[in-house]
Amino acid sequence: MKKYKINDISFLKFSLFILIIIVFCLIFFLGGGVLYFEKVRYVDSFKFYDFQIHVINVGQGDAILIKLPDNHTLLIDTGEEKSSNILKKYINQFLKTENLNCIDYLILTHLDSDHIGGAEVILNNFNVKSLYRPPIYSVYENENFDLKQDYSIVDSQIYSNIIQLTYEQNCDLIFFQKDLEIKNEFCKIKFLSPSNYNYSESNNFSAVIQIEFQNKRFLFMGDAEEIIEQQLIKDYGESLQSDVIKIAHHGSKTSTSQEFLNIVQPNIALLSVGENNYGLPSIDVLNRLNNLNINILSTYDDGSFALTVLNDEVIFAVEPVPSCDMAIVLTFFVLLMLVIFKANFQKTQNNQNIKNH
Ligand SMILES: [Zn+2]
């Protein structure tokens, strides 16, 4: 039998060490382990579907990207500024996957920073065709133009910057209000609120939008509060019924009253919420949803997620979760084999030594 030299043994050990690393890396990355390093996990389960709704995990805030059946894109809100990089990456991935190149409609539901914070980044990085905003003027417009409508002017630097950018980019600027529609051949997109322009709470300026596609209805509530829910019940009654509701105000108890839920009768509730100090979502709201057996999808628990309509049903998919269980199991197995191999090797060596003596 061949006698091993010290150099051979070190080389063997080194080769085995490298082998373990290669085996682990291969299985780790093939098993989606790379997702551990990705902050943005794109949900591509409905790739090329005509109609897609992506609720993007931007932490505490809202950002909902919708692909309309005629290949138009609609973005409802842009999250906080600090999460704009995540949003930018997600939208880039979406446009690349779907072979699209612009955002046709950007809707800023109201002027709170967790909804418009990322808008400058969006306007600077994407071709935005039109911007829909609440009936409120910016300081920039007040200083530069003769204002036509009797709307209030809000003193917000971030809003002012956004509006200035849209003027510079020749992007269409549209004030939304109750009953305004975005024309689309294959689905109905309608604003249900606001119905006036002098609310005391910023949240109540929120665009409430209902989208109907293949007899399925989706209701996006912005941060509208209970007073708006009452108004909606008065204005629209049973036509508020929707299969899916984007819960208002990140699940705050200021909204989503029992009465409103009884009329909307959703099967799925979308919750866009992150780490926060406001006690969101409220336990009361979660209890109300659970008592009605409504399926809750939350960016806090599920990350980003997407929905579509298939065979007359609303279906959803959550972001891919990295799994390196296989990598760990197989690496453990290789290690075990090596330990056994080493034991046998030593035994053979000892036998050899005894023989030689
Ligand atoms: Zn908000």
User: In this predicted model, what pLDDT tens digit does every residue of 141-189 receive, in sequence order?
Assistant: 999 999 999 999 999 999 999 999 999 999 999 999 999 999 999 999 9
User: In this predicted model, what pLDDT tens digit does every residue of 267-305 receive, in sequence order?
Assistant: 999 999 999 988 999 999 999 999 999 999 999 999 999
Residues 167 and 226 occupy one common structural domain: yes
Q: What CATH number corresponds to the domain at position 152? A: 3.60.15.10
Q: What is the pLDDT of residue 224?
A: 98
Residues 145 and 232 occupy one common structural domain: yes
Residues 27 and 43 occupy one common structural domain: no
Span between the terminal Cα atoms of the chain, in Å: 15
Q: What is the pLDDT of residue 322?
A: 72
- Kindly list the protein residues that place their beta carbon closer than 5 angstroms to ligand 1, a single-atom ion: 114, 223
Q: What is the pLDDT of residue 2?
A: 57
Residue numbers in the chain where pLDDT is lower than 70: 1-6, 323-324, 326-327, 345, 349, 354-357
Q: What is the pLDDT of residue 92?
A: 98
CA–centroid distance, residue 221 to ligand 1 (Å): 10
Distance CA 92, CA 127 (A): 12
Residue 1 lies in a domain: no
CA–centroid distance, residue 116 to ligand 1 (Å): 9
CA–centroid distance, residue 223 to ligand 1 (Å): 6
Residues 37 and 25 occupy one common structural domain: no
Q: 70 — phi, psi (to 5°)?
A: -95, 25
* Domain span at 254: 33-318
Residues 147 and 72 occupy one common structural domain: yes
Q: Taking a C-beta distance cutoff of 8 angstroms, is the pair 282, 251 a contact?
A: yes
CA–centroid distance, residue 109 to ligand 1 (Å): 9
CA–centroid distance, residue 229 to ligand 1 (Å): 16
Q: What is the pLDDT of residue 174?
A: 98
Our count of domains for the chain comes to 2
Q: Taking a C-beta distance cutoff of 8 angstroms, is the pair 73, 54 a contact?
A: no
Residues 331 and 276 occupy one common structural domain: no
- The contacts of residue 218 (CB under 8 Å, 6+ apart) are 53, 210, 211, 212, 242, 243, 244, 245, 246, 307
Residues 94 and 212 occupy one common structural domain: yes
